[in-house]
Amino acid sequence: MVHHARGLPAVKAHALLAGLTFLPYVVHIPYSVNIVLHAALTVYVGSWRSVRDADGGGGPQEQMTNSDAMRFPLVGSCVLFGLFLCFKFLPKELVNLLLAGYITIIGAVVVVGAVLPFVERLFPAKERDRVIRFLTVPKIPFLVKEPFPLELTVPEAALAPPALAVGVWYFLTKGWLANNLLGLSLSIVGIEAMSLGSMQTAGILLTGLFFYDIFWVFCTPVMVSVAKNFEAPIKLLFPRSSLRAAALAGEKAQFAMLGLGDIVLPGLFVALCLRFDAQRQFRSSYFQTVFWAYCGGVAATIVVMNVFKAAQPALLYIVPAVLGAVALHAALRGEFKAVYEWQEEAADSGAADSAAGAGADGGSGAAAANKKAE
């Protein structure tokens, strides 16, 4: 797939997130603070990367429908329970070998996607879009339905070896840093590439996930059991104590965890609100409202977890925070109906019309968005 060079939104936030990821090797960060900062910066970065350029570059490529949103918690429940049964009746090592290997390969691919907007600008313009065909992937029963060519642009081909090295590093060591590099890439690219499509779809999805999270955490041991047994980059890990002190004492470091679903799924809604503001030329500020509500929901999860010394369903606190904040904001502005009925597809067509006239004053919504991100 050919990628076009585009703006680099939220560069400072990218740098902060990268620094925060490696910082525990230098200085201990309280895990509660670390969780909130990682979740907030990841959602912020993914949201700004999802804002589509005036020429259509970047932004979400897949859009969810209302029926997809209704099915999502049901499908997720089946997958979760299926994993629980696999860990219960099959050798844990075998299950992790198969699943971790599959997810690690996907993770290596998204590492390329996460870094690509920064690296491709280092190449000459004619090299950015030049496609290299490596081989044709054959049809594989149950995995690949139809043969397809494996093609990479020059920047993607340059990034592939280090990205695969990160995947191999994780697969061989299961180290927390390699895990987080893959998990953060999955989260950022997931928020960037997927759109909830409309505020109605977002409401349906998050409401369903609200009850999904409560049921599987509070009513059954399934969620916690799978999270503890599943050795794959589907969660972020945060050292509970100083890594240096643990190493000097010859002790194994202990980690707190945050599931990627608690970042990506509400992050899709935060990103949707940002694109809603962008489509309005930032005459509204729903993104600010929902972003800080998300941060508050994550912080509330950590507080309750520490008070009760038990795992908490993060969406129990995040979903009411983000949906309630946007609903209250819209009600106070007297535009609840307009916000509730907004659909991104219609907004994109409108944005395409307005982009033609943007050249008259030398500006564009995407350029303004990128400037505002900083």
User: Annotated catalytic sites, by residue?
Assistant: 213, 262
User: What type of residue sits at position 231?
Assistant: E
State the Cα–Cα distance between residues 91 and 102, nearest whole angstrom. 17
Give, in order, the Cα–Cα distances in Å from 165 to each of 17, 107, 225, 259, 309. 21, 11, 30, 23, 37
Locate the domains of the chain by residue range.
2-56+81-341
**Environment class of residue 249 by beta-carbon count within 10 Å: exposed (0-12), middle (13-18) or buried (19+)?**
exposed
Question: What are phi and psi for residue 26, nearest 5 degrees?
Answer: -100, -45
Dig out the tokens for 195 from the structure.
């759109």
Q: Which residue has the tokens 């990367």?
A: 49
**Which are the contacts of 354, defined by CB distance < 8 A and separation ≥ 6?**
365
Per-residue pLDDT tens over the stretch 105-119: 888 889 999 999 898
Per-residue pLDDT of the chain (374 residues; tens, 9 = 90+): 334 445 578 899 999 999 999 999 889 999 999 999 999 999 999 999 998 764 445 566 688 889 999 999 999 999 999 999 998 888 888 888 888 788 888 888 899 999 998 988 888 888 887 888 777 767 666 566 777 777 788 888 889 899 999 998 998 888 999 999 999 999 999 999 999 999 999 999 999 999 999 999 888 889 888 888 888 888 999 999 888 887 777 788 889 999 999 999 999 999 999 999 999 999 989 999 999 999 999 999 999 998 988 888 899 999 999 999 999 999 999 999 999 999 987 444 444 444 333 333 333 444 445 455 55
